[in-house]
Amino acid sequence: MKNEKLIHDWMVSYLKDRLSRDYDDIRANHGEEKKNDFKGCYPDLILGSHGMVLAIMEVETEGSITSEKAGEWKTLSGLGAKLILMVPRQSKAKVIDLLWKQGIADRTSVGSYDINVSMP
């Protein structure tokens, strides 16, 4: 899909706003930005409360779900904070399969999103 970067960045912004009710410190890395790190890595969202990082979140698009990316998820899952992946609904089974192959399915939460357009 040619607009995957737009979808990715929009989802990061949307999730940052949406999760602001649950976390009092949310730091985002939009696109290729590397402003906010967590233990030397730059996840899309770093979710914290009361001075502690509770979770890190990666937003994926259909084109970004690869076995190489799964290796990055494995690194992120070992940093001590909960890893949450947000993936397109139709790619959820593929992501879960990659998580099992990496041996991190038990340490990773997977959420999904769907963009739905209804035409008259």
**Tell me: the pLDDT tens digits for 49-101?**
999 999 999 999 999 999 999 999 999 999 989 999 999 999 999 999 999 99
19 token code pair: 């999760």
Cα–Cα distance between 90 and 79 in angstroms, integer?
28
The arrangement of strands across the sheet holding 45-49 comes to 25-28, 45-49, 52-59, 82-88, 108-113
Contact 41, 35 (CB under 8 A): no
pLDDT number for residue 32:
78
For the chain, which domains are there?
A: 4-113 (3.40.1350.60)
How does DSSP classify residue 38? B
Helices (H), the chain: 4-19, 67-77, 92-102
